[in-house]
C-alpha cells in the first residue's frame, strides 16, 4: 500500500520550460519534474519532454504535462536555435569535450575565412551524424558500438540550416588582452576582432531543422576551413515556439515542491501551438468534436487549427474543404482550473 498522501491539487496540463543545466540528462529532467509535482501535492501526472538535449548541452527543454504530452511529437519535429562554440585545432572522437582527441591541426582560421564558408552550410545540406549518437545500426545504438571499439558507418542525412551567424570569437593572439577592450564572459565581441586575425574559437548561432547534429556541423565547418575542431559549448535558445526568456532554473522548479504556485510557471497547452490558428467552437460543436464527429461547411481555409471552446483547447484538427478531421483530441475540463 502506498504511503503517498492524497493529492491536494489536480493533475496539471501544459508546459514547463526548463533551462536545463549542463550535466543533466533529458530523462533526468523529466524525473525532476515528476518529483516536484509529487512533493507539491499534485495528482499523478503524465510527463514527457519535447526534444532530447544532451547532458553536455544546456538551455531550453520543453517539459509537457498531462494532455500537453500529446503534442510532444510536434515539438520533436519543430526547428530549434542553438548557440555553439567551435574550438579549432583539435577533433575528439565524440566531437565534444567528453571525448579523446583523435586529430590535431596548427591551422587557425580567420574571421573572414569563417564568414566566407558559412553560406556553404546554410540551406539544405547533408551531414554524417556523429559516431557517438543514439542512432541505431543493426539494432544497436551507435554510441554503444563506438564505445565497444567497433567501426561505425553512418549514412548521410538531409537537414536544413535556416540561418548561421557568428556571435563571439576568441583570438589566438594574446595581444588584444593588453588593449582597452573588455572581454565578456562569452568572448570578444566581433566588432573587436579584425577579419584577418586568427581565431582560437568561434561561437555561432544556428537555426536548424529537426535531425540536425550541431557537433557534425562544427566538425564539417572546421574541415572546410582546412583544420579540425570540436564543440566546447552548446546552448539551445529556442525549441519550436519556446524561447529561453520563459525558461526556469532547477532551483525555481524545486520551489513547486515547497508550495510555490505551479500556475506561475506553467504555460498553457496551446502555447505549444502558437503557430496554429484557433477555430472557435460553440458548446454543440465542441461536444461533436469530442465525440469524434466531423464538422462540415466551415468557411475557414484548409490547414491545421486548434479547436477551442472559450479558452479551453478541444482538439487539434485539420480542415479539408470545409470539413474537420481530428488530428489529436484533448481531454480538458471546460473551465480552466
Active site positions, annotated: 54
Q: How far is CA 88 from the centre of its chain?
A: 25
Q: From CA 318, how far away is CA 173, in angstroms rounded?
A: 57
Q: How many helices (H) and strands (E) does the chain have?
A: 7, 18
Q: Strand (E) positions, 71-185?
A: 80-88, 90-92, 101-104, 123-127, 136-137, 140-141, 157-171
Show the cell assigned to 40: 507539491
Looking only at Cα atoms, what is the longest distance across the chain? 73
Q: Strand (E) positions, the chain?
A: 14-20, 47-49, 58-65, 80-88, 90-92, 101-104, 123-127, 136-137, 140-141, 157-171, 188-189, 199-208, 229-239, 242-243, 278-281, 303-309, 312-320, 323-329
Coil/strand/helix, residue 29? helix
Backbone angles phi and psi of 143, in degrees to 5: -70, -30
Coil/strand/helix, residue 248? strand
Amino acid at each position: 500500500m502506498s504511503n503517498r498522501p492524497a493529492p491536494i491539487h489536480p493533475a496539471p496540463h501544459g508546459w514547463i520550460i526548463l533551462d536545463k543545466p549542463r550535466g543533466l540528462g533529458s530523462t533526468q529532467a523529466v524525473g525532476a519534474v515528476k518529483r516536484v509535482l509529487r512533493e507539491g501535492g499534485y495528482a499523478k501526472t503524465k510527463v514527457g519532454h519535447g526534444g532530447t538535449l544532451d547532458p553536455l548541452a544546456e538551455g531550453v527543454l520543453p517539459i509537457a504535462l498531462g494532455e500537453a504530452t500529446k503534442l510532444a511529437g510536434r515539438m520533436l519535429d519543430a526547428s530549434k536555435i542553438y548557440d555553439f562554440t567551435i574550438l579549432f585545432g583539435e577533433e575528439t572522437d565524440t566531437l565534444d569535450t567528453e571525448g579523446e582527441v583523435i586529430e590535431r591541426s596548427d591551422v587557425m582560421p580567420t574571421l573572414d575565412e569563417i564568414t566566407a564558408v558559412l553560406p556553404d552550410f546554410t540551406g539544405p545540406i547533408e551531414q554524417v551524424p556523429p559516431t557517438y549518437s543514439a542512432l541505431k545500426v543493426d539494432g544497436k545504438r551507435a554510441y554503444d558500438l563506438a564505445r565497444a571499439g567497433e567501426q561505425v558507418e553512418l549514412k548521410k542525412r538531409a537537414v536544413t540550416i535556416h540561418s548561421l551567424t557568428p556571435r563571439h570569437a576568441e583570438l589566438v593572439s594574446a595581444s588584444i588582452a593588453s588593449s582597452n577592450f573588455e572581454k565578456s564572459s562569452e568572448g570578444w565581441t566581433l566588432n573587436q576582432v579584425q577579419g584577418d586575425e586568427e581565431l582560437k574559437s568561434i561561437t555561432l548561432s544556428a537555426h536548424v531543422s529537426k535531425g540536425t547534429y550541431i557537433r557534425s556541423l562544427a566538425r564539417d565547418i572546421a574541415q572546410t576551413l582546412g583544420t579540425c575542431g570540436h564543440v566546447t559549448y552548446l546552448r539551445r535558445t529556442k525549441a519550436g515556439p519556446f524561447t529561453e526568456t520563459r525558461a526556469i532554473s532547477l532551483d525555481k522548479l524545486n520551489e513547486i515542491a515547497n508550495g510555490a504556485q505551479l500556475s506561475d510557471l506553467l504555460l498553457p497547452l496551446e502555447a505549444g501551438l502558437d503557430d496554429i490558428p484557433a477555430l472557435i467552437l460553440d458548446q454543440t460543436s465542441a461536444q461533436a468534436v469530442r465525440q469524434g464527429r466531423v464538422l462540415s461547411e466551415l468557411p475557414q481555409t484548409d490547414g491545421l487549427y486548434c479547436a477551442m471552446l472559450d479558452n479551453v483547447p478541444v482538439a487539434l484538427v485539420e480542415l479539408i474543404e470545409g470539413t474537420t478531421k481530428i488530428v489529436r483530441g484533448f481531454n480538458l475540463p471546460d473551465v480552466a482550473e
